[in-house]
Amino acid sequence: MTGFLSRAEARIRPADGQDAEAVARIFVETWQAAYPGILAERVLTGLSVERQFAYWRGVIAGREQTVFVADSQGVVGFAACGVARPRLAGYRGEVFTLYILPDRQGEGIGRALFSVALTRLAKRDLMPALVWVLADNPARFFYERLGGKRAGERDDKLGDKPHREIAYGWSAVPTPTDPC
């Protein structure tokens, strides 16, 4: 597979075990940049690259989630997708995670990663697919921009605080399509 190029010429490719550390660092850095004022400070300061590394190494090695990375002179973003959990009214697939390093946001990398993840779900017959996003997270407007339709709401807990989450759904892959 040659990979898929974003507008920023980041190459989107499946993650391998060597990407686990970069993925862990991106997870911690993007959470700490995106979620102050949304999630409790204790949750953000308690994040650990070591723990995330152990988690993502297992996820990348396992079969439950497919992880893609955006590579642009190093890994600058990642997405994870798989069977929706729990299933919501006919939605079969889910993009669980999508994070781009703060200084590489706005270059088209998120759109490219998301398209590749949805394309993988479509190939696995896991469409329609959805994403859950914190209602307070401005990233939800990114999903609206990519054509996501509101599919549901739920309350979840992060730390000990309840948070409202909104689901956006897609029945088809938004363009550009994935040549992988």
Ligand X SMILES: CC(C)(COP(=O)(O)OP(=O)(O)OC[C@H]1O[C@@H](n2cnc3c(N)ncnc32)[C@H](O)[C@@H]1OP(=O)(O)O)[C@@H](O)C(=O)NCCC(=O)NCCS
Where along the sequence are the contacts to ligand X (CB under 6 A)?
A: 30, 34, 98-100, 105-111, 133, 137-139, 141-142, 145
* Residue with smaller CB distance to ligand X, 125 or 131: 131
Chain residue at closest Cβ approach to ligand X: 110
Residue located via tokens 């992988």: 180
> Cβ neighbours of residue 141 under 8 Å, at least 6 residues apart?
none
Question: Is the CB of residue 60 less than 8 Å from the CB of residue 17?
Answer: yes
* Residue with smaller CB distance to ligand X, 93 or 108: 108
Residue located via tokens 């075990």: 17
Q: How far is the CB of 93 from ligand X (least distance, A)?
A: 15
* Residue with smaller CB distance to ligand X, 127 or 133: 133
Closest CA to 11 of 98, 119, 108: 108
**Inter-CA distances, 107 with 5, 6, 24, Å:** 12, 8, 21
* Residue with smaller CB distance to ligand X, 60 or 131: 131
Q: How far is the CB of 35 from ligand X (least distance, A)?
A: 8
* Residue with smaller CB distance to ligand X, 115 or 122: 115
Q: How far is the CB of 96 from ligand X (least distance, A)?
A: 9
Q: How far is the CB of 21 from ligand X (least distance, A)?
A: 18
Q: How far is the CB of 142 from ligand X (least distance, A)?
A: 4
Question: Is the CB of residue 24 less than 8 Å from the CB of residue 49?
Answer: yes
CA–CA dist 78, 95 (Å, integer): 11
